[in-house]
Amino acid sequence: MKNTPFNKPHLTGKETDYIKEAVDSQKISGNGVFTKKCQQFFESNYGIKKALLTTSCTDALEMAAILINVQEGDEIIMPSYTFVSTANAFVLRGAKIIFCDSREDHPGIDEDKIETLITKKTKAIIPVHYAGVASDMHKIMELAAKYNLFVIEDAAQAIENTYTFPNGEVKALGSIGHMAAFSFHETKNIISGEGGLLAINDEQFIERAEIIWEKGTNRSAFFRGEIDKYGWVDIGSSFLPSEIIAAFLWAQLENIKIIQQKRLDIWNFYQDQLKGISLKTQSIPEYSTNNAHMFYLVCNNPDERKQLIQILSNQGIGAVFHYLSLHKSPFYTSKYEGDELKYSDHYSDCLVRLPFFYNLTQEEQQKICLLIRANF
């Protein structure tokens, strides 16, 4: 019996050719030809003002926290149902995390609860586009304008998706907040093993971002010939990846349309085959497109989820749950002073992700769906 894992990285075939090109060019540190190609791709396709490749989405979030100048005691609002890096990037700078509940119909942040959490110390809101599905960015940007807050989109899963504003304007996710962070971790739609990108949409951050990216030096400006020598001008770190990673990533970005079409076919097949089961399937609000990042089901209780994972696992199928609410994590639970986060806990207890990767076959999908339909 063939096993179906939860994830399998997909290669387009060009990755090693481009890596060889980078190696042969003898320019394998960062910010070279492939890095610029990848950054340009994000700027021209998604309307991002300045894109900087990073070694991870985690790093991009850390850069954003430095750029908005988070100080000890500043409050940062984000969903509790998210990956640790969303919070850690700000905790590293001394911030207090204010966790917000998920929506009833979606694990993303409940936009209508954000305002009650805003205080004089609030500095930023971090919407996480869970499963790539857009948070309601119009509501969030309005709140940010009203209270003078920054918005940093955790767009780790959101490549290729758009949000439609109430006035009909359509914008790519990652191009709406002051900044955004993307991930190319091997579990995402477009991968480079580890990798990420900081998207900057508010021009005031661009110059300093390049400095922080290059270890606190003005090396980028030097290489553009804008200054005659470079030196230490600010805090910073080594946030830029090598050209070897950028070369890999470029092979993926070049094939993004093909990859996305395949993923959408897989997503639609699941959605179609699982109509009418007694578990909740994914719903996507009208203002968001679907980038087929994942396919999840929401069980009615933790026991049911355990049963579902077991039934699939008995047949060699890797279905997995996802985040555990961060406000209940070993690191944060004693620091948490807020209310119960009912929906965040519900998704922690009841959400299951089905196998989802480029080379998943229709026979495998059929088998998964038959098993689920027979039992739920």
Ligand X SMILES: *Cc1c(COP(=O)(O)O)cnc(C)c1O
C-beta of 187 vs 307, nearer to ligand X: 187
Q: Take residue 199 and report the two structure tokens written for it.
A: 């998207």
Give least dist CB 62 to ligand X, A: 9
* Sequence letter at residue 121: K
C-beta of 293 vs 346, nearer to ligand X: 293
Distance CA 227, CA 221 (A): 6
The DSSP annotation for 220-232 comes to: HHHHTTSSS---B
C-beta of 83 vs 343, nearer to ligand X: 83
Give least dist CB 182 to ligand X, A: 8
Give least dist CB 85 to ligand X, A: 4
CB contact set of 265 (below 8 Å; sequence gap of 6+): none
C-beta of 196 vs 236, nearer to ligand X: 196
Q: Answer yes or no: are the C-beta atoms of 108 and 139 closer than 8 Å.
A: no
C-beta of 42 vs 219, nearer to ligand X: 42
Distance CA 319, CA 253 (A): 27
Task: Measure CA 227 to chain center.
Answer: 35
Give least dist CB 273 to ligand X, A: 26
C-beta of 64 vs 149, nearer to ligand X: 64
User: For helices 57-67 and 84-91, what crossing angle results, to 10°?
Assistant: 30
Give least dist CB 185 to ligand X, A: 4
Give me the phi and psi of 180, to 5 degrees please: -150, 160
C-beta of 218 vs 260, nearer to ligand X: 260
Which CB contacts under 8 angstroms, 24+ apart, belong to 210-217?
210/52, 211/236, 212/63, 212/66, 212/67, 212/236, 212/237, 212/239, 213/52, 213/54, 213/63, 213/239, 213/240, 214/31, 214/240
Residues found near ligand X in the complex (CB under 6 A): 56-58, 82-83, 85-86, 128, 154, 156-157, 183, 185, 196
Q: Take residue 224 and report the two structure tokens written for it.
A: 């553009």
C-beta of 19 vs 249, nearer to ligand X: 249
Give least dist CB 140 to ligand X, A: 16
Distance CA 322, CA 345 (A): 11
Give least dist CB 181 to ligand X, A: 7
Give least dist CB 163 to ligand X, A: 16
CB contact set of 138 (below 8 Å; sequence gap of 6+): 163, 165, 166, 287
User: Hey, is 179 helix, strand or coil?
Assistant: strand
C-beta of 182 vs 304, nearer to ligand X: 182
C-beta of 111 vs 154, nearer to ligand X: 154
Give least dist CB 234 to ligand X, A: 23
Give least dist CB 108 to ligand X, A: 10
Distance CA 158, CA 203 (A): 22
Nearest to 243 by CA among 13, 39, 10: 39
Distance CA 119, CA 78 (A): 14
